[in-house]
A and B are shown apart, each in its own frame.
Chain A
Amino acid sequence: MNAVVEEHHDHDHKPTGLGRWLFSTNHKDIGSMYLWFAFTMFFIGGALALLIRAELFQPGMQIVEPEFFNQLTTLHGLIMVFGVIMPAFVGLANWQLPMMIGAPDMALPRMNNWSFWLLPGAFGMLLASLVMSIMGLGSAPNFGWTFYAPLSTTYGPDSTDYFIFSVHLMGISSVMGAINVIATIMNLRAPGMTYMKMPIFVWTWFITAYLLIAVMPVLAGVVTMMLTDRNFGTSFFDAAGGGDPVMFQHVFWFFGHPEVYIMILPAFGIVSSIVPTFSRKPLFGYSSMVYATASIAFLSFIVWAHHMFTTGMPVAGELFFMYSTMLIAIPTGVKVFNWMSTMWRGALTFETPMLFAIAFIFLFTMGGFTGLMLCIAPADFQYHDTYFVVAHFHYVLVTGAAFSIMAAVYFWLPKWTGNMYDEKLGKLHFWLTCISANVLFFPMHFVGLAGMPRRIPDYALQFAEFNQIASVGAFVFGFSQLIFLYVVIKCVRGGEKATDKVWEGAHGLEFDLPSPAPFHSYTTPPEVK
């Protein structure tokens, strides 16, 4: 059997044509599909954001109607959360995990294929509701990505039921992906690779996968309750029938808070892979990084009601959730200090991946500070549902998660394609993106503190200047991403040949493979000492 398999590998035989992609069971191809899918959705979600920022450029209604504006903000949020950040991280997991642990592929390659192909279907449905809305056939979802009841149940448009179906499909995709990740990491590690020898990116995805399995089904539960409330006469969230709209928020945020950690833990893993490479020093405090990640994941389950301080919670509840949320600052701080200590007295170079990783550390920390401010309940009464919150989550998600994804792509593209990307253009992309992201999101802190609520299409005059600045930043940011697209395509098509090791300071089993990594790699597991 082995002999036959060895021959297969000498040819590095790949399937061809459309079938290669539709029926793929190869983690590299599936990883690429996830990444291209996420990249496409990034431009779509980004276009919606530009429409939003165009409307908010000046006071007054210039471009869209308020009702449509609500649809824009809703779809922008849904697309970015479920269609960009999550699939991109899954794509990176697919590409990297098997190579990093010395495995030939994911544990469940066929399920891997289904996990991916569910997504274009789910998002096709969601985007179709937007197209239909533009054609005047009824509203797309318009209740915010957090879809609170009863706005989304009793008062939701017809497209809501399709939104629910869409969420079910995305959820199934994520859960299947998470099961795959866990099975792969638990069962397919090369001999000698104990848990505490795994690369840190593998650890963060391992923990993320457990979070996914725990909370995506709760999301499925809450949208199912919405479905029955809307169509089958139940009253989970309808006070008329004895239900409670606030309970929706409890169940939603029980999913929602771990969800945002699902969207950041892999980012921590990426930064923890890149910083040591370009510092030419080992990661500081490997085991505390693992424990810190695990504690963040655990704590994420007991903080959810910090999104609900204004719902009329009794003081005891407010105090509990304030304290538990403050606790998360400790392991997060430990991670930041560990990255700093990795850089300290290293021999730093600043290629594009490192630039994004350093920007992540600075700017995600900024988002962490505002997160700490937000969890202080008495102050939160002034911040809740204002642009201060919008600023906070865009710092952690854009300059946090999205920057880490860009960093990862620059870091591993040479391994995937065998070609170095254009470093000059990469740096241009970085500086334009980093500066414009700050021009876009920093002023939001000010208008939020000054009293501007979120999810409004028009605002009072005192908020005009900072909104204008933010809108300018948004357009620069959006168009700068075209440079990224160009760099990626150019690199896929050719460029200076990459070595196996790619980066001087690189470590890890993936860097023992040739660049580009062969279609089937580590069919024989390596020895790990």
Chain B
Amino acid sequence: MRAVTRPLGLVCLLLASSPTLAEYQLNLEPGVTVTSQNAYDIHQIVMWICVVIGIVVYGVMTYSILTHTKAKGHKPATFDDNLTIEILWTVIPILILIGMAIPATSALLAMEDVSDSDMSIKVTGYQWKWHYDYVGEDVSFFSNLSTPMDQIKNKEAKTENYLLEVDNTIVIPTGKKVRFLFTSNDVIHAWWVPAFGVKKDAIPGYINESWARVDEPGIYRGQCAELCGANHGFMPIVVEAKSEEDYLAWLSEKKTAQAAANESGNKTWTMDELMAHGESAYITSCAACHQAGGEGLPGAFPGLKGSPIAIGDIAKHIEVVVKGVEGTGMQAFGPQLNDADLAAIITYERNAWGNNTGDMVQPSDVKAAR
């Protein structure tokens, strides 16, 4: 008996001590758009019909199991067909299905109406981050997971939005019909925000579209919903819905910030500036594969600590980062990051973790190498 209760007790202790930072969610959420509400409503209808059918079916079976047993001395009947009842239990389900199909059809038609949008955002899936481009506004940026590696590796306590937080959120105005246009840079991804009821595949070479009109300001989180490689579970989506004024303010702030970042490519940076900026940019864009400590993952992603590339010829190092390495998982970061970010990252890689080459790479060096 002890052999059972002790491990059982341990398991209960384990369960009781786990972090309980959120309420249990048992059901779908209604969400904040007409689409999500439609999905929720039809889900409820079908689910409750199934529950009722289940109660009837399971009830009949349970009754039979309890009453019609040999142990109770029940003698077996001999019937093996009954046309009336067979017709009934074919026709009644057909009617129930039609009853489900009608609201399902109207829900679907409402969800797929993309016309008359107020603005468009192009969403591109990358391995393993999202890129957002406000069409016609000249605002575009990458959105990377911002949960620190230390939390993922269990070296630090996990914070509330673990795995559902990003460095740059996408912002949309409330009360406007936003059209999302989806594509991918590499493999198939899927963009999903449960609160919007929007899930669409992002397919390389093709465009898909969906829409959302959010009336409530707030922050809404989602995840990639199509297996896309190693870090499929680590490319979340965070959308902030703001009032139209706040959205426009954010938009113009973003434009200024972008212009400044481009300008930073023209100045000369100090070693300290390069290292500081390089470290945070490295964590965002490189650490997922090469790890925060530069040790890489043997057999999958090479280490940079003490690596011939990071200590050797600078021009070659720049080329690897900017152009990528054909036939491996090393993407070209030239198209994804600006000169300043790249210069800082390369400088960081050449000096961190004991590499200590003392080399500084300036944004202009990167620009020349493109």
A, B assembled together:
yes
Interface string of B74-108 (1 = CB under 8 A from A): 11111111100110011001100100110011011
Interface residues, chain A, CB within 8 Å of chain B?
58-62, 65-67, 70, 136-139, 142-144, 148, 150-151, 154-155, 239-240, 244-246, 279-286, 288, 310-312, 315, 318-319, 322-323, 326-327, 329-330, 333-334, 336-337, 340-350, 358, 361-362, 365-366, 369, 372-373, 376-379, 381-382, 384-386, 446, 449-451, 453-462, 464-466, 468-469, 472
Chain A residue, CB-CB nearest to B75: A347
Q: Which residues of the partner chain B approach A142 to less than 8 Å between Cβ atoms? A: 229-230
Question: Can you add 4 more A-B contacts, CB < 8 Å, to A150-B204, A151-B228, A361-B61?
Answer: A150-B187, A151-B187, A322-B108, A334-B89
- How far apart are A124's CB and chain B's nearest CB, in angstroms? 22
Q: List 30 A-B contacts (CB under 8 A).
A: A66-B231, A70-B229, A136-B299, A143-B227, A144-B227, A279-B68, A281-B76, A285-B86, A311-B203, A312-B203, A340-B61, A342-B80, A343-B68, A344-B68, A347-B74, A348-B68, A349-B69, A365-B57, A365-B58, A373-B46, A378-B39, A379-B39, A379-B42, A379-B46, A385-B199, A385-B226, A453-B225, A459-B233, A460-B161, A460-B162
A136 to B300 CA separation, bound complex (whole angstroms) = 8
Interface check B267, CB cutoff 8 A: no
A-B pair number, CB within 8 angstroms: 296
Q: Using CB atoms, name the residue of chain B closest to A66.
A: B230
CB pair B188 A151 closer than 8 Å: yes
- Answer yes or no: B186 CB below 8 A from chain A CBs: yes
B300 and A283 contacting across the interface, CB-CB below 8 Å: no
B24 x A465 contact (CB < 8 A): yes
Across the A-B interface, give the 4 residue pairs with the lowest CB-CB distance, nearest first: A239-B205, A456-B233, A136-B299, A450-B25
Inter-subunit contact B15/A345 (CB<8 Å):
no
Interface residues of B (CB under 8 A from A): 11, 14-15, 18-29, 35-36, 38-40, 42-43, 46-47, 50, 53-54, 57-58, 60-61, 64-65, 68-71, 74-82, 85-86, 89-90, 93-94, 97, 100-101, 104-105, 107-109, 111-112, 151-154, 158, 160-164, 186-188, 190, 192, 194, 197-201, 203-206, 208-209, 222-234, 297-300
**Within the complex, which residue of B42, B57, B154 is in contact with A378, where a contact is CB–CB below 8 Å?**
B42
Q: Which residues of A contact B234 (CB under 8 A)?
A: 66, 458
Chain B residues contacting A379 (CB-CB under 8 Å) are: 28, 39, 42-43, 46, 104, 107
User: Considering the chains assembled together, what is the distance between the CA atoms of A137 and B190 in angstroms?
Assistant: 31
> CA of A327 to CA of B90 in the docked complex: distance in angstroms?
11
- Contact of A459 (CB < 8 Å), options: B39, B81, B112, B163: B163
Greatest chain B CB density within 10 A among A279, A362, A381 is at A381
Chain A residues contacting B225 (CB-CB under 8 Å) are 310, 384-386, 453
Given known contacts A333-B93, A373-B46, A311 and B297 CB-to-CB distance under 8 angstroms: no
Q: With A281-B78, A319-B105 in contact, do A245 and B69 touch (Cβ < 8 Å)?
A: no
Q: How far is the CA of A310 from the CA of B209 in the complex (A)?
A: 10
Residues of A within 8 A of B162 (CB): 59, 460-461
Contact A465 B20, beta carbon cutoff 8 Å: yes
* A245-B204, A330-B94, A343-B61 known; A137+B78 contact, CB < 8 A: no
Measured CA separation A160–B46 after assembly (Å): 40
Contacts of A345 in B (CB 8 A): 64, 68, 74, 76-77, 79
Contact A446 B26 (CB under 8 A): yes
| A319 surroundings in chain B (CB, below 8 A) | 105, 108
Residue of B nearest to A240 (CB): B205
User: In whole Å, how far is B159's beta carbon from the nearest beta carbon of chain A?
Assistant: 9
Decide if A60 touches B111 in the complex (CB within 8 Å): no
Q: Known contacts being A319-B105, A349-B69, is A462 close to B50, with CB within 8 Å?
A: no
CA of A15 to CA of B208, assembled, Å: 63
A460-B163, A461-B158 known; A286 and B80 CB under 8 Å? Answer: yes
Bound together, the chains give a CA A357 to CA B98 distance in angstroms of 31
CA–CA, A484 and B50, complex, Å: 33
Q: Which residue of B lies closest to A374 (CB)?
A: B46
Say whether, besides A330-B93, A459-B163, A343 and B80 are in contact (CB < 8 Å): no
Q: CB within 8 A of B203: which of A246, A377, A456?
A: A246
Q: Is the CB of B76 within 8 A of A334?
A: no
Known A281-B78, A346-B77; judge A155-B154 contact (CB<8 A): no
A residues near B26, Cβ cutoff 8 Å: 446, 449-450
CB distance from A421 to the nearest CB of B (A): 20
When distances are taken between beta carbons in the complex, the residues of chain A under 8 Å from B42 are 376, 378-379
Chain A's closest residue to B91 (CB) is: A330
- B80, A281: Cβ atoms under 8 Å? yes
Residue of B nearest to A455 (CB): B227
How far apart are A459's CB and chain B's nearest CB, in angstroms?
7
Give chain A residues whose Cβ lies under 8 Å from the Cβ of B93.
Answer: 329-330, 333
User: Roughly how many angstroms separate A326 CA and B228 CA in the complex, as a whole number?
Assistant: 30
Contacts of A459 in B (CB 8 A): 163, 233
Q: Give, as a whole number of angstroms, the nearest-CB distance from B340 to chain A.
A: 30
A143 to B300, CA, bound (A): 16
Contact between chains at A460 and B164 (CB < 8 Å): yes
CB nearest neighbor in A for B192? A453
| In the bound complex, CA of A446 to CA of B47 (Å) | 13
A318 cross-chain contacts in B, Cβ below 8 A: 108, 112
CA distance A138 to B111 in the complex (A): 44
Given contacts A138-B299, A323-B101, contact A334 B86 (CB under 8 A): yes
Q: Provided the pairs A384-B199, A458-B233 are in contact, do residues A148 and B188 lie with their beta carbons within 8 angstroms?
A: yes
